[in-house]
Structure 1
């Protein structure tokens, strides 16, 4: 099931057809539509749509095109409208220096005052940005530690901007423009950020995806955008739908958190949620937060951790999957005996295994466990995170001495399994230095994994 987070169903070219448009959306597995307004009149119209259709929610706000008449009375009226129970955001707001329909100083004033309204009401914002990237980024940086949450709709910045926004806990969305032939740069951004940081949107009636380009856009076409994201990210459409649906819950509060998953499928791999416990406390890990990945809830207490037989039953035939991955939000080697029992079953039945670890397994188990990898674990993926022990300690909130333990684990593990060292793609981490260290010094493989908030 999909959620279209951006469809202007109040536009005149939907007049008399909204019933049919909503019906087609439902038939196309679109379970929720968010209608962002562009001025006071459309804010009221969006709310009226929520009253008529159970699956429609609204955002209220003044678009930069319509901010030329901005005054205190407008912000007061928006605040009243935003109190409606089906208003989930302030938007569409932002800056547009392409058309300049409103003076830039007025656009800036309206944008900031609507951000402040969103903070007051504890609502997220939906941001429009067209050729105003520097000002948008500078303004958003000002609110970094305020709790502001935003959707950057029809994303118009660079990959670096996207990663910075994600580090500030904002979400990114792309329209049908990612399906256009000349959208390689947009697809490059899509391929380099995590699905955990994305939302789906059509921007109806605009930005119609291929093969309907040239016609009016509508929410029923959201699957075409999801398919393109899935293709670029090597995921299934179901992965994209599930992850982005949870992201809507996380940002807009629509829906609910899913039940705990002991195993979870992403692409053609099956992941084993071994434990939520960890000896580290990484700053980029949501283990103590929601602990949701790709729409799967991995949050479980020690008392809820299953025995090996539960996982084995859920795995079934391991040959159905590309690989069986011991992962989750905790450190799998904390339950090393359970991991080994599951891995033996997988290998005995023709499957491929991978262990995602922080490389502290020898310390945790108080012995060298690397010889036990042989014949059980095909690939060991180890979180290097930084070549600098002090930065490593800061990122993972561990003693710096564990950096050497992790390196030692990698050196020993490569005798028994294929080893891949990884870092999280954060601006402060020197990925080139990490890659050089991994390939030239350790002689193993290197991978940079996406950061998501």
Structure 2
């Protein structure tokens, strides 16, 4: 059985989640992002109104969102002392990690160029003085931008690079190298995936991995094959995969390096926290959350719409060891049972589950594991090898079956292993019953789905059955 490895994590350094196209569904957007491995998003202001909304969003989702505030070159004519003072106030709010989106745009030319340069310089001075990196927009103005960035090198305040990022970079390789030489990173977005973006890909390939960060610019610039549709942070993975392909590195290496670059840019330390709750109470039970990894992407799963349950955020930025779960659980005696569940497939962390369950059983706890029964496929072993160490430690296995045939299961549960997962799941149930576990098979009562065949299949396998209510909220 292979050793568990954490999923590579991505950071979306530039999005506009205040955009009306996201409506009131920001939590669902963040949940989809987290399911795609995007663990944090910076939402960017372009004027006073959007900067206020960015700060408010970051306040509402303090684990998943950060904010940047600033005035874009398009609105340079509206920038005055009152605007600057309010932006400074917003920049001091919790969760604000950068000043931007600011810069120069000679393509759209919505404000006089001299006004753009004046406003850009003023905001750069303020950003440096406040110790904030700048998020910079530049269209067809790289010569003047370089001059402004050179001048900014003399501004007091922030004195260690990176001093900012040139977001959604569209310049030449020489433009990029000049900016990097002045202490700035290069933002790579969905444009790098476009079939007609050969020059941009050549420019990106001329850079080193430690000079780039990834972004979506959502809801704009969706990557191929979603070009022309609304973009969102979950699609950052497509940009990351294409960028990894360009550099000839595996996805994990690309994700680790660009995430490290983003942490340097925004001065995000490794906090040592888990990002989500390891233990939470629902009703009379205590639930333990050992992993956010999952072998399925079920169409009905709550994690496609929510970041947690019962008021607890459950997506994890890193996985706990048994000692972490034990510390989070505390005294198990007040609970009817302790359930390994969380926001992923618990048996992908089978050794952690076994060690924690052993500690719980010594203290008299009843232990249940909620599972989809396919972890052994991912781990490269048999169902028997996965289950044997849990014998005597787990009182009940609740196995999510949801379908009576492989085709329906693949449609509903979308396993990474495809239709082969269904046979592996049936083998898991048979093996668990044979080893003496109490096994309860469940099915979600989805609209239009007849779950009677699932109940009959459960009986044939020697397992109990429970119908679960479908909650589409």
- Report the TM-score, using the length of structure 2 for normalisation: 0.53
Q: Select the structure of larger CA radius of gyration.
A: 2
Secondary structure of 2:78 counterpart:
coil
Distance in 2 separating the partners of 1:211 and 1:82: 36
Q: Which residue of 2 aligns with 1:81?
A: 90
Name the SS for the 1:173 alignment partner.
strand
Separation in structure 1 between the aligned mates of residue 244 and residue 83 of structure 2, nearest angstrom: 41
C-alpha deviation, 1:107, in angstroms: 1.2
Distance in 2 separating the partners of 1:168 and 1:240: 23
Q: SS at the partner of 2:94?
A: coil
Whether 2:146 is the aligned partner of 1:137: answer yes
Q: Which residue of 2 aligns with 1:92?
A: 101
- 2:63 paired with 1:49: no
Give the whole-Å Cα distance in 1 for the aligned partners of 2:77 and 2:27: 33
Match runs of 1:3-402 below 5 Å: 3-53=11-61, 54-144=63-153, 146=155, 147=159, 149-256=163-270
The Cα shift of 1:17 comes to 2.1
Going from structure 1 to structure 2, the CA distance change for 1:199 and 1:257 (only over 3 Å counts) comes to: farther
Give the SS at the match of 1:49: helix
CA distance in structure 1 between the aligned counterparts of 2:148 and 2:50, rounded to whole angstroms: 26
Deviation for aligned residue 1:257: 8.7
Contact 2:192-2:201 at 8 Å conserved across structures = yes
Cα deviations by residue, 1:22-75 (Å, 9 ceiling, x for unpaired)? 110011111000011001111110011111112100000001112221111111
Please identify runs of 4+ aligned residues in structure 1 that moved more than 4 A. none
Q: CA RMSD in A?
A: 1.4
Displacement, 1:240? 1.1
Tell me if structure 2 keeps the 8 A contact 1:246–1:257.
Answer: no
Paired with 2:154 and 2:121, the residues of 1 have a C-alpha distance of 15
Could you say what secondary structure the match of 1:139 adopts?
Answer: helix
Show CA shifts across 1:139-171 (max 9, x none): 112223553701000112211121122122210
Contact 1:91 1:126 in 2 (8 A): yes
Distance 2:177 2:146 in 1: 12
Using a 3 Å threshold, how does the CA distance of structure 1 residues 255 and 223 change in structure 2: closer, same or farther? farther
Mapped partners of 2:260, 2:270: distance in 1: 8
Structure 1 residue ranges without an equivalent (≥5) = 259-453
| CA distance in structure 2 between the partners assigned to 1:88 and 1:213 by the alignment | 29
Quote the Cα distance in structure 1 between the aligned partners of 2:154 and 2:85. Answer: 25
> Any idea what SS the aligned residue of 2:218 has?
coil
1:2 paired residue number: 10
